[in-house]
Copies of this chain bind each other. A is one copy, B any other.
Amino acid sequence: MPGRIEFQTEPARYRHWKLNFHGELAELIMDVSESATLFAGYQLKLNSYDLGVDIELADAIQRLRFEHPEVRVVVLKSGKDRVFCAGANIRMLAGSSHAHKVNFCKFTNETRNAMEDASEASGQKYICAVRGTAAGGGYELALATDYILLADDGNSTVALPELPLLAVLAGTGGLTRVTDKRKVRRDLADAFCTTEEGVKGARAVKWRLVDQTVPNSKFDQAVKEVATKLAARSDRPTAAKGISLTPIERKLEADAVTYSSLKVEIERDVRRATVTVLGPGGDAPVSIDAMLEQGAQFWPLRLARELDDAILHMRLNEPDIGVLIFKSQGEPAQVLDYDGFLVGNAGHWLVREVLHYWKRVLKRVDLTARSLVALVEPGSCFVGTLAELVFAADRALMLIGCFEGDNRKPATLALSALNFGGYPMCNGLTRLATRFLGEPESVAKAKAELGTPLGAEGCDSLGLVTTVLDHIDWHDELRIFLEERSAFSGDALTGMEANLRCPGPETMETKIFGRLTAWQNWIFQRPNATGAEGALKRYGSGVKANFDTGRV
């Protein structure tokens, strides 16, 4: 099993990917280094991947958006001769804990969603050029792109062989994208997903599995033609210069992680961590140029990157911490000022990237399988963008008045325009619309208070927090609540939160994280997959798996 997993990287340190730039076109080349694995016990043969490979991919996708506004089309291809990508490494899966498997799948799903978000939200289109075999997670990668070209060379195939080969699902969005994105007919999807060797050539097009199949001799030309066509439809900026996503500064201690605008304090004995978000410490830049000058130090971007890193660190490296408590510290007016800057400049390419990045980070929070609690206390600055953390929480407590001996003003919370459309959840709705599914008029009531600092009573009557308490009750009630929460089964909480956090409409994303993931997690527990005689364990041993044939 891996030691501490690092989510920060940069192209100069990539082991598995190469980026080439040709004006509006970029090539993202998967060329996995067999021995550069995240932990011992497997080799990344045939362009198979582990979490380490996917962390680099996520980084590349992110940098393509921020550092390369000129790139309109990204061509995803393989650096190997006869294989596109063999998917998630099976020996890695077989050697992983249940928790690692689940978190690995979640992250890879988020990475594939990030590719789709780049296309949909930011005009940066993805084309997948498949030469050789795209199997399992390899085909799932392709599915996340806008257009799949498959070489018609008698060798190149797409396949989801998980079920016949490993007794698990194509769980990185595969099944869902086959049915809901590519809209493959369900009996053909059944045939495809039970055929280990996959489908190639004209049949792959007929079955809607790929968009086009092209002979080898004309393959590069065809890719170029598609790229040109997609580039013409992109609304990426012209003549913009990217910013550099400079390394995040972070101090890691035994029970704390400290960033420039965020700190995480861990209380191991009670299995809780407090995530305190720090306000900007000043007003928003006076101009777009001033923001560009700040680059990655622009507070909303800096905080989003730090929060993203902190959440991933907690997910993968701190599995025993069951509750994340969100607090904030800062000047509410300054946060409101920054939100105003973002809204006022939403048409600028970099502001658009920052807003969509916040959207993705907040979705990452929603999808984190820990209980989320927000505490709104004096000195806090839960305003607009930061108030989304309150609405993302399973419970939010707000103090009425002050703590004894604390002369700071009572806490307030304020809404900005970004709470009403800036950061849709996976279900396509804002957190406030999701919150008030049963009483849509409450969204309008909240909107009428845009920008107003709302005290505890105001937040209570608007339904923006769960509980308001004065200082006499605060500590005891909070202690009892947190103790109770820690005493519950983490698994049951995970299942409950997965159901309660995402009511209302469903999208491909909610189906991937709600339905496909839950079935995959179930299957990851079944002896047929992960038991001593299961398919994952026995893969490559030459001995066939031994299945319990009963159906449940």
Residues of A within 8 A of B (CB): 98-99, 102-103, 162-164, 167-169, 175-176, 178-180, 182-191, 193-194, 208, 271, 319-322, 369-370, 393-396, 434-439, 463, 465-466, 484-501, 503-506, 510-511, 514-516, 518-523, 525-526, 528-529, 535, 545, 547-552
Contacts and interface: CB of A to CB of B under 8 A. Distances in A.
B194 A500 contact: no
A552 B102 contact: yes
A323 to B, nearest CB: 10
B190 A547 contact: no
B190 A491 contact: no
A493 B438 contact: no
A503 B186 contact: yes
Given A99-B552, A528-B490, A551-B369, A500 B435 contact: no
Contacts of A526: 489, 491, 525
A522 B516 contact: no
A187 B548 contact: no
A490 B551 contact: yes
Contacts of A488: 163-164, 167, 194, 547
Nearest to A106: B552
Contact of A186 (B434, B484, B516, B520): B434
Contacts of A491: 167, 522-523, 526, 528-529, 552
Given A193-B500, A463-B185, A505-B506, A489 B535 contact: yes
A85 to B, nearest CB: 21
A145 B274 CA distance: 42
Contacts of A438: 182-185, 208
A511 to B, nearest CB: 7
A481 to B, nearest CB: 9
B437 A183 contact: yes
A143 to B, nearest CB: 14
Contacts of A463: 185
Given A187-B394, A499-B515, A490 B550 contact: yes
A520 B535 contact: no
A434 to B, nearest CB: 7
A551 B521 CA distance: 13
Contacts of A169: 492, 495-496, 499
Contact of A492 (B102, B396, B529): B529
Nearest to A522: B522
Contacts of A505: 506
A550 B322 CA distance: 7
A498 B185 CA distance: 15
Given A175-B496, A194-B496, 5 more contacts: A169-B499, A185-B438, A194-B488, A490-B549, A499-B516
Contacts of A520: 495
A535 B489 CA distance: 9
Contacts of A437: 179-180, 183
B511 A506 contact: yes
Given A490-B528, A495-B522, A522-B522, A550 B319 contact: yes
11 contacts: A169-B496, A187-B395, A194-B484, A194-B496, A369-B552, A491-B523, A492-B523, A494-B552, A506-B510, A515-B518, A518-B518
A193 to B, nearest CB: 6
A103 B552 contact: yes
